[in-house]
Amino acid sequence: MAQWALLTGPKGCGKSTQALEIVRRLREAGLRVEGFVQAGTIDSLERKGYDLVRLHNEQRLELARPGSQERPGEEAFCSWVFRQSAFGVARDWAMEDGPGADVIVVDEVSKLEAAGKGHHDVISWGLGREDVKVMLLCVRADQLFWVMEKFGLEQEPSAMMEVPAEPEGLREFAEALVERCTGAQG
């Protein structure tokens, strides 16, 4: 079973931005990092939304837009309308890119995943892998208990960081993940 690491903080605090910085640092240290983050978007009408960004090649896919009006293939959840097919594509990305990765990143884990939806299947798949060293979960702080309960995350995480973090905290977090993946002492 893969170990898990945690990036946590309140909604809108910069978890995705910090996750991308961690990815950069891990890759500079020679680790293979896969998965995806959720990037905020603004459309031509200045409406906020979210896209999934594949870490492997920066491919983007529309995930959610504000609203409550569902169309076929969409589901409203917490004032957002999610494209259900996007979760399947993210799962496929992880299953294609993830085997043998040192770290798999799953960003913006919250009540959707705790309810068995969203990226639930990717997290379950990744945590069950023996060829993946660490699953890095970016979890909203107010959802942490539910996520840990849902996925049976009883052991301590390999590394944990609250966002926003100072540069020193980012460095220490990245070093802890490198050490976990390589066994090297920093």
Query: pLDDT digit string (tens) for 144-163?
Result: 999 999 999 999 999 999 99
Q: Counting every residue, how long is the chain? A: 186
> What's the pLDDT score for residue 74?
66
Beta carbons of 57 and 16 less than 8 angstroms apart:
no
Beta carbons of 120 and 158 less than 8 angstroms apart:
no
Query: pLDDT digit string (tens) for 18-51?
Result: 999 999 999 999 999 999 999 989 877 777 899 9
Nearest to 75 by CA among 121, 123, 118: 118
Cα–Cα distance, 102 to 148 (Å, whole number): 21
Is the model's pTM score more than 0.85?
yes
Nearest to 78 by CA among 42, 50, 103: 50
Q: Domain 3-182: give its CATH architecture.
A: 3-Layer(aba) Sandwich (3.40)
> SS3 of 91, please?
helix
Residue-range domain boundaries for the chain: 3-182
